[in-house]
Amino acid sequence: MTSDRHVNAARSKVFGEVAELYDSARPGYSDAMVTEVLAYTVLGDRAAVEVGAGTGKATVPFAALGIPLVCVEPDARMAEVLRRNTASYPNVRVEVGDFEQWRPGGRHYGLLFAASSWNFLDRDRRWDLVHAALAPGGAMALIRNPHGIHDGGLRVELAAIGDRHGITGSPHRFLACDLSGDKPGNWDQAWPDTECRRDGRFTDLRSVRFRQNLRYDTDRYLGYLASLSAYRILPDDHRDQALAEAGRLLDAHGGGIDVLQVTDVFLARAR
């Protein structure tokens, strides 16, 4: 039987197939989130390390503030776009490889952050790896961007398309009101707070949520869907059909979709 570890590792490598689409269609991260993370962090003269940096959606707002960054990205195709997006920031270094095989080489960091990549890491090793990379008192920030759909009828129809084509982890599970609370983590993936407390090597645990309403036109939303691992792992014909059906539906509903984008942040500090 294929383990969750191997499934997650495989899914983490599918984004490079559509690296340019990922970069153009995926939403970014708010300045307020970056401010919150840096207010919590005591960097001193230490650099930050980003795990699963992708094309730099979260990298750029940190880099623009002059934060020295080491970006670990498992897919060379994603790293190529990342290098282009950070070319004007000499404080950014990109290292290609899996975080599980990456070695700090004696370096200890003041901040480690992972934006939408934590769930792809080896669950048996990720807390050990984070703790080993951080200096005492160093901060970790785990960041996710789930969204909820404002139109309940549209959500039901989009979810039905996903069900017909065997899409697991569909982004159409939630209404905006499902994510309206102040407490992060009321979505499909387990919030890391409990796991972190059980580990015991971290302190000062905090959870923060930010919100913004976004409007996607049909083409951009289809690009967003096509960049998700749940769609990338489908056979090509199933994916194409699912996207075509979603496109017709969105065009019939005014040519786009309104969503509530939330940014959930988990913060902890190495003891």
pLDDT at 9: 53
Q: Is the pLDDT of residue 40 over 50?
A: yes
DSSP class per residue in the chain: ---HHHHHHHHTTSGGGGHHHHHHHS----HHHHHHHHHH---TT--EEEES-TTSTTHHHHHTTT--EEEEES-HHHHHHHHHHTTT-TTEEEEES-TTT---TT--EEEEEEES-GGGS-TTTHHHHHHHHEEEEEEEEEEE--EEES-HHHHHHHHHHHHHTT-TT-TTS-BGGGG-SSSTT-SSSPPTHHHHHHH-SEEEEEEEEEEEEEEEEHHHHHHHHHTSHHHHTS-HHHHHHHHHHHHHHHHHTTSEEEEEEEEEEEEEEE-
pLDDT at 72: 98
Mean pLDDT for the stretch of residues 2-8: 48
Give 183's pLDDT tier (boundaries 50, 70, 90). confident
Mean pLDDT for the stretch of residues 184-196: 82
Mean pLDDT for the stretch of residues 236-262: 97
**pLDDT > 70: what percent of the chain?**
94
Q: Is the pLDDT of residue 206 over 50?
A: yes
Q: Is the pLDDT of residue 123 over 90?
A: yes
Q: Is the pLDDT of residue 97 over 50?
A: yes
pLDDT digits (tens, 9 = 90+) for 145-181: 989 999 999 999 999 999 999 998 788 989 999 888 8
Mean pLDDT for the stretch of residues 34-42: 97
Give 5's pLDDT tier (boundaries 50, 70, 90). low
CATH classification number, 4-148+180-211+261-270, choose in 3.30.565.10, 3.40.50.150, 3.10.20.30, 3.40.50.300: 3.40.50.150
78 versus 188: which is more confidently predicted? 78
Q: Is the pLDDT of residue 68 over 60?
A: yes
Mean pLDDT for the stretch of residues 245-251: 98
Q: Is the pLDDT of residue 7 over 50?
A: no
pLDDT at 2: 44
pLDDT at 190: 80
Query: Which range (141-155, 176-190, 200-214, 255-269) has the least confidence?
Result: 176-190
Query: Which range (58-67, 77-86, 104-113, 241-250) has the least confidence?
Result: 104-113
